Structure 1
């Protein structure tokens, strides 16, 4: 029996041969890419790859090695395709749609829409990004906000997309898919929930608490100590505060921001009631114009893939292959297709970066569909 050192020496020798053969294979696939460019043929030929993998597995003697060799050659062919996509982009055959590159998002004279009423966290996010003097109006729902942008009634909409405590706001992700609007910026707002009521409210006599559904969830521990209170959700936290002000019922309280309490003349009854002290919501600024700032650092896309083993991994591998850092992935069911999903992905990078262009090209070529949601 060979000792371990001798075995490793033999493996090293085989690895050198594999590397040499791999480089020769990649050289040949570059020639294939040049041929496809000249003839207009697509890079991915699924039937050809299927036949190739079956032929390779037929060369394997041991049955237990058939799956590993198929996996190995799947990755080799995937890397070959990625090289071909890079070549296509370098030769100017990009699939990217045109867009306007600007130094900064135009805020002066902009009209902005948000969901809810004054005092809502979306209202705070809007003021944080656009300033105190921004021309704005509010609508009842997130869909109404997207419609206002689509119809040109507003230049921008401010929408919450995820919270550090309760996670993604899936309804907004669905709207990003439904509407042909673009994310052009983002804003982070620290959520500091307080309990509020009419001046002089006696907590021992409270029967009902109002807030947004997420506001109630984010204060779950506090509300556990008041199980006798009926919890009623509202379109947003500021609407809950406004309801307390309008109903004039001292047995009702709301969970919202200090700003909302001040705006509606309510008394702050309890502070620091959120489960997480560092509770933060990320808001996106949405426009109907395909405008991205030149120094954008984040890319957001949505794509659909076939429901086959490895299909999602293969698409995400284009991001990994190009050295890009994926920061977010969210799945949402596709309407009318049981157990099929679309995927929302955020990754670091500017649309003018060659690596980003290569990754988007690869995903576009190999997915059912892809849409760029924004570069910001």
Structure 2
């Protein structure tokens, strides 16, 4: 059986690959992409079977450009992964902390470790496109004056030592990833979570009515994100995640919500997976 081809933003040992391995297991083929849009293109062009896409971080918040990609590409969401973000300081074997002059990583990873680096103002901090790519560059170029902020997977893959463990400021830092596909058959047995998008009608209180419908039918609203409709003043797309215990209640809620919304899109029904 052919391996599942999973497109990720970044390279091997990035957090996106870690999320892919957590969801699919080890028997996958990772398709490395330089941007989130490129992952979507890989899926559209049949160079990948799935995309793993970060959608929100507990510190940085929602990744708004990725909501735009969800809207533009119309892929189905078939799952989610929550990944604990643990950040380590990686260096070539034998390098001592006193030798370090430069620190490289993704800007979000750097921000998440700012308390640690406040204690070492002499270090030159450089932003890069990917945590794992920084680790790989240290290995490839044998840099003895540079460290990377990355995960344990990167340390193992690129044969680097962990100089300092868990340097992130918030130890409860996690990122939520969505699993996307363009397969037509996407029914998930036992699905108990859904991602939907819609616009409300212009009648007074229409959004409140939609939210009340979910509450009245015992459907839990776990996320709501608004995005402006391009070119239309004061109009918004709402992206909503809901969970339910009884499918009949969810189905009843959706049938009622349709009466109060326009451009309603069911982006995916899948299994809740909030373990970190």
TM-score (norm 1): 0.65
Match of 1:278 among 172, 188, 201: 172
Query: Match of 1:319?
Result: 214
Gaps in structure 1 of 5+ consecutive residues: 1-106
Choose the corresponding residue for 2:49, options 131, 155, 161.
155
1:342 aligned counterpart, secondary structure? strand
Matches within 5 A, 1:210-289: 210-289=104-183
Find the counterpart in structure 2 of residue 347 from structure 1: 242
Q: Tell me the SS of whatever aligns to 2:46.
A: coil
Q: Does 1:178 align with 2:72?
A: yes
Whole-angstrom distance in 1 between the partners of 2:80 and 2:148:
28
* Cross-structure match for 2:274: none
Q: Specify which structure has the bigger relative contact order, considering alpha-carbon pairs within 8 angstroms and separated by 6 or more residues.
A: 2
Q: CA deviation at 1:165?
A: 2.9
What is residue 305 of structure 1 aligned with on the other side?
Answer: 200
Q: Which structure has more helix as a fraction of its residues? A: 1
Which structure 2 residue ranges, 5 or more long, are not aligned? 271-276
Q: Deviations over 1:52-95 (max 9, x none)?
A: xxxxxxxxxxxxxxxxxxxxxxxxxxxxxxxxxxxxxxxxxxxx
**Structure 1 range deviating more: 268-277 or 311-320:** 311-320
Aligned 8 A contact 1:193 1:257 in 2: yes
Contact 1:199/1:267 (CA < 8 Å) preserved in 2? yes
For 1:117 and 1:155, the matched residues in 2 are separated by 17
Q: 1:310 to 1:184 in 2, by over 3 A?
A: same
Instruction: Report the RMSD for the aligned CA atoms in angstroms.
Output: 2.3
1:109 Cα deviation (Å)?
A: 4.1
- Equivalent in the alignment of 2:20: 126
Instruction: Tell me which moved more, 188-197 or 359-368.
Output: 359-368
Task: Report the secondary structure of 1:357's partner residue.
Answer: helix
Q: Distance in 2 between matches of 1:137 and 1:314?
A: 43
| 2:193–2:242 contact (8 Å) kept in structure 1 | yes
The structure 1 residue matched to 2:31, chosen from 131, 134, 137, is 137
| Structure with greater proportional strand content | 2
Residue 337 of structure 1 corresponds to: 232
Does the 8 Å contact 1:307/1:340 carry over to 2?
no
